[in-house]
Structure 1
Amino acid sequence: MREVRLWMMAIALLTISVPIQSVAQESTQDFVQRVTQAARLQHTLSADIVLTWKTSAGTKTSTGTVRLMKPNYAFVKLAGDYPLHVLVSDGTVRYLVPDDKSYTQESIDPRGEKIDTPWWGFPYRFFFTQSLNPFGASVDPSEHLDSVSGESVDGQQFRVLLVHGTGPMGEYGARFFFDKDVLARSIVQFGAGTKAGVFEAKLSNIRVNAPSSAAYFHFVPAAGQKSTSITAGMLSIGEKAPDFTLPTPEGERLALSTQRRGKKATLINFWYFNCAPCRIEFPEFEKLYEQYRAQGFTIVAVNRGDSAKTVVDYARRAGLSFPLVLGGEPGKSNVFANYKSTEAFPQTYLLDADGRIVYRTAGMDIDGLKRALQQFGFR
């Protein structure tokens, strides 16, 4: 936790911020209640956005525009390093456009909780959910509200809320910059040293409660653009899942055929440590494992490229009890090629008692997984 507090001090210096004098006395809890209520009353929001993420691999940036309308309409257009060009929610369907040739679509949450791509696009997720959890719409019970203060950054005045907690990426600290009760900027850091990651979303030219209509959020594919499933390229439903034998982080060997013997359903998940969605869904996997393991359900999570120590330490912190194995790097291990899991993470397959695939997804779909498990009679 000391490291989290140190990075907060460092970012405070990096933003070249200075305290604003004569800030009205207001408790942190009162401030949060006020900005949360203000966000509930914001019917529309439009702005320019800059998304930046800094990791050991370097710094990447995307820029674009955001237009939002309650309860779940969105149009996010980006250009740059992040592999998303457009996100559109027309109130019923969410469309994701990764390139000029294709797009995917899925049902949208009625409260806008799925408008969260990329995950650190926190200002526009907050517009819909009013959640201060950097990693999702649900409340983070570990999150602590540290302080709120007035600051001036590059000549602009903000009220800045500092929080810290333990999320799917480990301990994190966050700074939320509010301009007239509108969340205009967020900075989230997890990890420390060479493994630290800093993710920033910054809005400018913000307009709130400007007139808008559902017609603006109608999605029209570009010429030649085709709809593809998020599971395109994965193994097919009904296909027999390839067997594998891989090392565990503790130095033993685990065979899929042995693990699923006598089981009604087996979940295979492909993940890696710095994949935020992977670690966001792991607590949900653990709940399902604890709930259904006695009924014949098991999980095998295949890690890509992380060290045994990284996986063991993470599993211990996250309280994971289901089996994890080390898949190594793609190209050096056949398991990723055999499951066609070389780029998109997380990927999940659900197998029946015969080892045939009955459900699959690329990305998070806990609700879909639960529905698939119910078809096996798990209650």
Structure 2
Amino acid sequence: MTLTGCASSDALARQAAAGDNKNYIAGDGSVAEYAPESRGEAVRLEGTLFDGTTLNQDDWAGDVVVLNFWYAACAPCRTEAPTLNAVREEFKDQGVRFYGINVRDERSTAEAFERNFGVTYPSFEDRGGDILLDLTQYVPPQAVPTTLILDRKGRVSARILGLAEKTTLTTLVEDVAKTP
């Protein structure tokens, strides 16, 4: 896969865009927060959930959205699944939506993971990498898991590269959820 047009001041995104696999990129748990004035344009994406439903950013307009990139064999993805579920439960009545973006698995594998780990939110099937490619400014292709938090205007307000810790994710979601 060749990535082009990924102009970003983010060192990890630039490294991923180089496509040379130098220094394999893995999430290290680092957190980036983006001030409202520096968030740029709203994320535009369209994809199909494993249940066959097609969604795009218009379907969650006005809500805070947490997008988590994952796949079943990813050890940190397994570790953070209970955290994502817990934070989703905490904020589900506050206009906060959670979506997984599965970057590798067939439907049966993804559904088995979701059953085993009690995942309560839907996931996009993205084996073709369309969603990932649309978001390479924020998500280096090999940095899974990665979690993005979109503000109510659909802009990336925060990113966690690697394992999402509960206190960190809760704080990031809480901060953006209380902002109109």
TM-score (norm 1): 0.35
Q: C-alpha displacement at 1:267, in angstroms?
A: 0.5
Please give the secondary structure, in 1, of the residue aligned with 2:154: coil
Amino acid aligned to 1:262: G
**3-state SS of paired residue (2:147):** strand
Q: 1:261 matched to which residue of 2?
A: 61
Which residue of the partner structure matches residue 123 of structure 1? none
Matched letter for residue 261 of structure 1: A
Residue 338 (1) aligns with residue 134 (2): yes
2:70 and 2:100 in contact (8 A); partners too: yes
Partner in structure 2 of residue 319 of structure 1: 118
Q: Is the 8 A contact 1:359 1:369 kept in 2?
A: no
| Amino acid paired to 1:267 | V
Partners in 2 of 1:105 and 1:282 — Cα distance?
17
Is residue 244–residue 255 contact of structure 1 (8 Å, CA) maintained in 2? Answer: yes
Task: Please list, as runs of the form range in 1=range in 2, the aligned pairs for 1:1-379 lying within 5 A after superposition.
Answer: 230=30, 238-258=39-59, 260-263=60-63, 265-329=64-128, 333-340=129-136, 341=139, 342-366=141-165, 367-375=167-175, 376-377=177-178
* Number of aligned positions between the proteins: 147
- Structure 1: runs of 5+ lacking an equivalent: 1-97, 107-229
Runs (5+) with no aligned partner, structure 2: 1-21
- Quote the sequence identity (%): 24
Structure 2: distance between partners of 1:309 and 1:345: 20
Alpha-carbon shift at residue 293 of structure 1 (Å): 0.7
Instruction: Confirm or deny: 8 A CA contact 2:102 2:127 kept in the other structure.
Output: yes
Deviation >6 Å, runs of 4+? none
- Give the aligned CA root-mean-square deviation in angstroms: 2.8
Q: What are the Cα deviations for residues 180-217 of structure 1, in whole angstroms up to 9, with x where unaligned?
A: xxxxxxxxxxxxxxxxxxxxxxxxxxxxxxxxxxxxxx
Contact 1:270–1:302 (CA under 8 A) maintained in structure 2 = yes
How far apart, CA to CA, are the structure 1 residues paired with 2:133 and 2:28? 26
Q: Look up the SS of the partner of 2:55 in the other structure.
A: strand
Tell me how far apart the structure 2 counterparts of residues 365 and 348 of structure 1 sit (CA, whole Å): 7
CA distance in 1, matches of 2:105, 2:28: 31
Q: Secondary structure at the match of 2:113?
A: helix
Question: 2:91 corresponds to which letter in structure 1?
Answer: Y
Larger proportion of helix: 2
2:62·2:154 contact (CA, 8 Å) conserved in 1?
no
**Structure number with higher strand proportion:** 1
SS of equivalent to 1:243: coil
Query: TM-score by structure 2 length?
Result: 0.71
Equivalent-residue separation in structure 1 for 2:171 and 2:52 (angstroms): 35
Q: Which has the larger radius of gyration?
A: 1
Deviation at 1:318, TM superposition (A): 1.7
Deviation at 1:325, TM superposition (A): 1.0
Q: 1:273 to 1:338 in 2, by over 3 A?
A: same
How many angstroms does 1:241 deviate by?
4.3
Secondary structure in structure 2 of the residue aligned to 1:321 = coil
Query: Contact 1:249–1:309 (CA<8 Å) still a contact in 2?
Result: no
* Cα distance in 2, alignment partners of residues 325 and 350 from structure 1: 16
Cα separation, partners in 2 of 1:268 and 1:239, compared to 1, 3 Å = farther
